[in-house]
Structure 1
Amino acid sequence: LRDMVAGEVPIRTLFENPTIAKLSEALGSLLQETAGASIEPVSREGHLPLSFAQQRLWFLDRLMPDSALYNIPSAMRLHGYLDIEAWNKSLQVLIQRHESLRTTFSHVEGQAVQIIHPYQEQSLRVIDLRELPADECEAETQRLAGIEAATPFNLSEGPLFRTTLIRISDQEAVFLFNMHHIIFDGWSIGIFIKEMRALYEAFVHGKEPVLADLTLQYADYAVWQRKWMEEDVLTQQLAYWKEKLIDAEPLLALPTDRPRPAVQSHMGAMYTITLPAELLAKLNMLSREEGSTLFMTLLAAFQTLLYRYSGQEDILVGSPVAGRNWEETESLIGFFINTLVLRTEMSGEPTFRDLLARVKETALEAYAHQDLP
């Protein structure tokens, strides 16, 4: 739609015109005052700036050096015979293909810059545990994964990703890959796994891999974002968030089983639940009836829960957003995400449907102003 009308189409337009007929009418009357500037390749000569997202993490790394807080450790369990040479070759192609995997960060005259290094082979580390008994092997794999996850990265020296292949048996292996968040995000994990699989399958069968050419790299996006946000976009988005977050509660007073420490430790855990299929179907139905997404419906339920526990009527929830609003960025490994503050006023004893309408409006507004770091 952006390409067709040569400008921005607010996501609200899709919600308010949920059929092709209505959407066609809306687009026909949508007068674009400014066309969205497209992302173009830039010269690699001179200093390359960080994106706003990267600058956040650069600042935090300077504030808390030698921290593993922004590591993204992942693991794949591989079943069947593994051709280690083909797996390593696939990894090398990815390092060549995505500049983010060859980037480190420095500063020049007080300004942070990203440095893209020429490709050099980064050999796959292989650990062979096949001689160990099965239970010891699994325990050792978990131990090694834990050590890897907790080992910090040095942003200025790099590399900012590490890989380890643990051989458990002739028919099973675990592939650990760990990246610093400044070059990687959750979406990037999907790209990494998808391309590793495509490359490996090609090399194993003696074929040339076929991956679509990348017309842009992350640094091109970072330069574009800086220029784009210099214009009216920054003024408009900053004004929206200043108004939206005025007089916000600094803390959510939840009843907890221990006092809040003076210094945040970042020690936490994840609790996972599975909703029954019948409940999920009902939630989906309610979402459709109210013209909302399932995310909006679950967010309204979550904010209700926080309201019940805290008694506070002003509930703010931080939610990550992918930040890949341009088609050219969808296939890049890099750090695009932003965090949106979704603030809902719970006063007036609204029904759940009324509350969902508030949450939907809040979310749509936030999506329309999601570019401000």
Structure 2
Amino acid sequence: MQCMEPLQTNAPIQPRPLGCTIPLTPAQMSMWVGMLNSGARFSQLRAAATSVRILGPLDVSVFHGCIEALVLRHESLRTRVLVERGVPRQVVSDGYENQFEFVDISRASPTSNENEAASFAQSFIDADIDLSKGPLFEAKLIRLSAHEHVLVLGLDHMVGDGTSYAILSNEVWALYKKEMGHDALSLPALPVQFGDYAVWLQRTQGAWLEQCAAYWKERLSGIPPGCFTGLQASNGVKAPVREMLRFPLGNALTGMLREIAHKSRTLLSSVVLAVYVATLARWCNQEDVLVSFASHGRTGHAALAGMIGSLAHGIYLRVRVTGQHTFLDLILDVCFEIRNAIQHRDHGRVSQLISSSVADASYNWVSAAWASGEQKKGTTGQVGSMEAPLQLRPFPLQQRALRSEGGPKLLVAPCDNGDEIVVFVWHRADILEYSVVARFCLFFRHVASQLSQNPLSSLNSKGLSYEPLG
């Protein structure tokens, strides 16, 4: 049943009528089109996974019950994608579909079971997923000993994003603590589900086009070619896959950026974004810079705060960087662009409205919790009572390079870990050589240092020398 009665963009998100067809959201449709363009049909590599080592006495039966409760709580964890008459749609299963697997390898020697656990976990995250059959969410628990387990959670990008992983992790341990008698608090009821959000987007599409389409068409008209357009890496990589490197800014430079954010009453994330814009302008020798700024998609709607789903999308920021700009001017312009973009919030619709609006460069300020496994391999969390705590530690796995037919060619994702800013950089390995990206990272740090030391100096200052791509 189609639920197409139009709504205004300020209409609240409410539960959809019973039997209502659930469309793909614009963000999901972009992923779907990218998957088909890459040559895949209805299956793909497991898009994302997270793994953790659990030290302490874990009750496996109780934990399994918590996973089942989460699957029943969130429709997105029991969603598949079916195609009818060439049109993909979301289908939600009525109940739990045995999405938990327990493997006991505790009889092996410590060295052997460590390797076997890594092998089991790696094969889990490397599995191909049929989007029409699912499940698109699964959990695997591997027992190394009575007091040591490895948990791997796999959540396809079609039904979840980075924030979804944080929600999933928080809720599963909240349920576990409650079931073990360590916490009397219950999880709050969810006002709406991801399918309700997808239907709401469809019903508000007409009003959004009327109110915001003209703004985005004007804002994104005449976009100059991206500075990575036409490049081809000579490293032999042909498939559109992403690779990642990381680099720290250091304590001193981080301190200067924090001080500028404090004095200008600006978020640190916006200050670092201004550095990224300045770096791109110099690196690409362009005054007109287009950046896709990642949004978790939940701001402005309280009903979305605790939702697991594919809500993340890019917000397009177009910033003109002239030689007369100072760093503080640029920060103000970036903040102005962010406010305007949020005012004309698109929930991922712009990329379908204007096909040429996909930016070469993207920016995503990530949380310390997300990056903890990459930055602090010894980070320890605690779950349960003080008498029998569970210690949570990262269990690093080798994520296969993700195929990425479309989207940005360079994604910069800074994170403030409390000590310093660490920058994660993903790049299209078939377009950008690793050595080029490494040089870009060094230039980013150089620009950040120069701007932080001279925030009132013109961007034409000699310290910001242009370094060509070649």
User: Which TM class, normalised by the smaller chain length?
Assistant: 0.7 to 0.9
Match of 1:368 among 320, 343, 366: 343
Per-residue displacement from partner, 1:196-238 (whole Å, max 9, x unpaired)?
Answer: 011111222398872211221111111111112211x223322
Match of 2:147 among 171, 180, 189: 171
Q: Which residue of 1 aligns with 2:357?
A: none
Structure 2 residue 48 is the aligned partner of structure 1 residue 67: no
Residue 177 (structure 1) shift: 0.6
Per-residue displacement from partner, 1:144-167 (whole Å, max 9, x unpaired)?
Answer: 333322323211111111211122
Q: Which residue of 2 aligns with 1:238?
A: 213
| Superposition pairs of residues 212-251 of structure 1, within 5 angstroms | 212-231=188-207, 233-251=208-226
Distance of 1:242 and 1:186 partners within structure 2: 29
Would you say the 8 A contact 1:320–1:339 is kept in 2? yes
| Superposition pairs of residues 37-76 of structure 1, within 5 angstroms | 37-64=11-38, 65=40, 66-68=43-45, 71-76=47-52
Normalised by the length of structure 1, the TM-score is 0.81
Q: Which residue of 1 aligns with 2:326?
A: 351
Q: For residue 359 of structure 1, give the secondary structure of its aligned residue in structure 2.
A: helix
Per-residue displacement from partner, 1:292-328 (whole Å, max 9, x unpaired)?
Answer: 2211100111222233333233322222101112101
Per-residue displacement from partner, 1:142-194 (whole Å, max 9, x unpaired)?
Answer: 34333322323211111111211122232221100111111111111111111
Normalised by the length of structure 2, the TM-score is 0.66
Q: Which residue of 2 aligns with 1:280?
A: 254
Q: For residue 331 of structure 2, give the secondary structure of its aligned residue in structure 1.
A: helix
Residue 260 (structure 1) shift: 8.4
Q: Which residue of 1 aligns with 2:308?
A: 333
Q: Which residue of 2 aligns with 1:81?
A: 57
Residue 270 (structure 1) shift: 3.2
| Superposition pairs of residues 106-185 of structure 1, within 5 angstroms | 106-185=82-161
**Alignment-mate amino acid for residue 199 of structure 1:** L
Q: Which runs of 5+ in 1 are unaligned?
A: 1-33
Match of 2:72 among 96, 103, 110: 96
Would you say the 8 A contact 2:141–2:151 is kept in 1? yes
Match of 2:263 among 289, 304, 307: 289
**Alignment-mate amino acid for residue 293 of structure 2:** S
Per-residue displacement from partner, 1:7-36 (whole Å, max 9, x unpaired)?
Answer: xxxxxxxxxxxxxxxxxxxxxxxxxxx882
The verdict on how the C-alpha distance between 1:173 and 1:328 changes in structure 2, with shifts beyond 3 A counting, is same
Distance of 1:113 and 1:222 partners within structure 2: 10
Distance of 1:57 and 1:100 partners within structure 2: 16
Q: Which runs of 5+ in 2 are unaligned?
A: 1-7, 350-470
Would you say the 8 A contact 2:99–2:138 is kept in 1? no
The percent of aligned pairs where both chains have the same amino acid is 27
Distance of 1:308 and 1:173 partners within structure 2: 49
Would you say the 8 A contact 1:71–1:152 is kept in 2? no
Per-residue displacement from partner, 1:119-159 (whole Å, max 9, x unpaired)?
Answer: 03415212233344444444443343333223232111111
The verdict on how the C-alpha distance between 1:273 and 1:336 changes in structure 2, with shifts beyond 3 A counting, is same
Residue 83 (structure 1) shift: 0.6
Write 1 or 2 for the structure with the bigger share of strand. 2
Residue 87 (structure 1) shift: 0.6
Would you say the 8 A contact 2:168–2:308 is kept in 1? yes
The verdict on how the C-alpha distance between 1:150 and 1:249 changes in structure 2, with shifts beyond 3 A counting, is farther
Match of 2:317 among 342, 350, 371: 342
Per-residue displacement from partner, 1:27-68 (whole Å, max 9, x unpaired)?
Answer: xxxxxxx88211111223142222222222232333332432
Distance of 1:307 and 1:140 partners within structure 2: 48
Would you say the 8 A contact 1:185–1:336 is kept in 2? yes
Would you say the 8 A contact 1:72–1:180 is kept in 2? yes
Q: Which residue of 2 aligns with 1:210?
A: 186
Match of 1:323 among 288, 297, 308: 297
**Alignment-mate amino acid for residue 304 of structure 1:** A
Distance of 2:234 and 2:205 partners within structure 1: 41
Q: For residue 245 of structure 2, give the secondary structure of its aligned residue in structure 1.
A: coil
Distance of 2:235 and 2:143 partners within structure 1: 42
Q: For residue 148 of structure 1, give the secondary structure of its aligned residue in structure 2.
A: helix
Q: Which residue of 1 aligns with 2:227?
A: 252
**Alignment-mate amino acid for residue 322 of structure 1:** H
Give the stretch that moved more between structures: 74-83 or 141-150: 141-150
| Superposition pairs of residues 9-20 of structure 1, within 5 angstroms | none
Residue 72 (structure 1) shift: 1.7
The verdict on how the C-alpha distance between 1:286 and 1:92 changes in structure 2, with shifts beyond 3 A counting, is same
Distance of 2:225 and 2:233 partners within structure 1: 19
Would you say the 8 A contact 2:140–2:152 is kept in 1? yes
Per-residue displacement from partner, 1:60-86 (whole Å, max 9, x unpaired)?
Answer: 333332432x71211122111111101
Distance of 1:309 and 1:206 partners within structure 2: 54
**Alignment-mate amino acid for residue 310 of structure 1:** C
